[in-house]
Structure 1
């Protein structure tokens, strides 16, 4: 090949390499301040009875609007709270059925007589798209029939179980039915980042909401915890943010909770931030999610 042709070829290859590097750099550039423009799907909302007077349904949607929270996955103690929100703003609320009602709470719900009938009755009456968030504080073999029924109820409707537990309890549920659809509440809450990574890698269909993990994910003001960074990038299609408004003080702090989630999302490339902020929820719950819903019900 003539020397001139060689030099042209080298120049073309160099330019192509530089272009590829530039594209890679663009893909890795954090979204930064533009994160404020992303719609948020809040995948862990409760509207429990103590909030009903302090925060009427209208005020909840106003709080969501103010923070760019376009839609939310809501469960409540009792379920009437979820239904009140959904009836007020059906385009903004994805309802799921929490088992807690009457004397049934987080520590004993699996042993309450008539639980299967209660769950089936509510699921037949209202358009819940999940069962949960419910707690499994410890494994009890005597609870297996109830959990098999709960999994069956979810599978009949092709909906998710939203489970607050450690990793072993999630493994146990998959042992009852490997095809169960599960959202891991708080990404395990008490589980270490390494424990979260192991289970997410082990179970490729497992989804997780990151509520109450926002300050663990941030490693300082402008960096991600190294293990959480690995979790986020490797499992970016399976994570959603959440607030966990389990007590009224969480509603009091809703602005700062959403801001703290935007803080760690701002450190991610746009495409990854968009998935976790709302696009994964679009896929999971078959919704169109955009800022156009702000101010609407």
Structure 2
């Protein structure tokens, strides 16, 4: 169950600290932070509309120094990584051919496909993949996937509700997971509970930016509890799953800076890029902007 006392105290203490000037919100200085975008796709429909050079240019304009990229098919990720290896952290999405978000776990030869791609390229994760409806008969494949990830010390990037995350952890408690969209439709109190239950669970907040700030532009209370309890386990993201997201990329990153701007500098920096530095062993700096 949701445990409000400690996070409520954290939020209150944080508010008090802002008031006494020790931890003022970062405010307009948020524009100077480099961003690590932890949820990028470069899917095939984007290839003709957005060249690899134009994607990096959009990242530059938005102050996005580096990003975690998965694509349908994986060739999109590799094209971006080969063009800008210092800016792209590749991860392997299972979707290819007729295997998509709803049927990929049933696709023939999926384990062999993943193993082959992981051996050919330096993917730092497997995903983002969807578990729309948990089917425990898929356990054999997921045990294979977890074994692949653990042998390479990489993450699974999972788009799912709370039940599939708990199921994956039951298959192997040591599996490392980035929870895509922090559960997307999962209410913030349930996000808190799951992250409290699994101390190594990470989450990207793509598509949650308008939940995190309320309509008045203030930090939502329940999301504030999540953020102040787990500032070292959150990363921002854009989720360029359709071309319209690329069309609006600068605005999407700006909306993420908006909620980061109400946080103390140390927490804003953690979520904007420092957590990703630790997770992926990279140096994320604005000096990367304009480079490949």
Interval of TM-score (by shorter of Structure 1 and Structure 2) = over 0.9
- Report if aligned partners of 1:31, 1:269 keep a CA contact under 8 Å in 2: yes
Distance 1:263 1:279 in 2: 18
1:66 is matched with which residue?
Answer: 61
2:26 is matched with which residue?
Answer: 31
Distance 1:278 1:22 in 2: 23
In the TM superposition, structure 1's runs of 4+ consecutive aligned residues that sit over 6 Å from their partners are 21-24
Distance 2:119 2:39 in 1: 23
1:272 is matched with which residue?
Answer: 267
- Report if aligned partners of 2:17, 2:23 keep a CA contact under 8 Å in 1: no
Distance 1:292 1:206 in 2: 30
Distance 2:263 2:20 in 1: 12
1:234 is matched with which residue?
Answer: 229
Aligned with residue 107 of structure 1, among 96, 102, 108: 102
Is 1:40–2:35 an aligned residue pair? yes
2:199 is matched with which residue?
Answer: 204
Relative to the length of structure 2, the TM-score reads 0.93
Is 1:129–2:124 an aligned residue pair? yes
Aligned with residue 111 of structure 2, among 104, 113, 116: 116
Shift of the alpha carbon at 1:219? 1.1
Change (3 A) 1:23 1:46: closer
Shift of the alpha carbon at 1:150? 0.4
Relative to the length of structure 1, the TM-score reads 0.92
1:79 is matched with which residue?
Answer: 74
Cα RMSD (Å) of the superposition?
A: 1.2
Q: Which has the larger radius of gyration?
A: 1
Distance 1:152 1:285 in 2: 19
- Report if aligned partners of 1:27, 1:269 keep a CA contact under 8 Å in 2: no
Shift of the alpha carbon at 1:22? 8.1
Is 1:146–2:145 an aligned residue pair? no
Which residues of structure 2 form unaligned runs of 5+? 1-15
Shift of the alpha carbon at 1:222? 3.1
Mapping of 1:163-174 within 5 angstroms? 163-174=158-169
Deviations 1:165-194 (A, max 9, x none): 000100000000000000000000010111
Shift of the alpha carbon at 1:36? 0.2
- Report if aligned partners of 1:130, 1:161 keep a CA contact under 8 Å in 2: yes
Mapping of 1:146-225 within 5 angstroms? 146-225=141-220
Shift of the alpha carbon at 1:138? 1.0
- Report if aligned partners of 1:44, 1:211 keep a CA contact under 8 Å in 2: yes
Is 1:253–2:242 an aligned residue pair? no
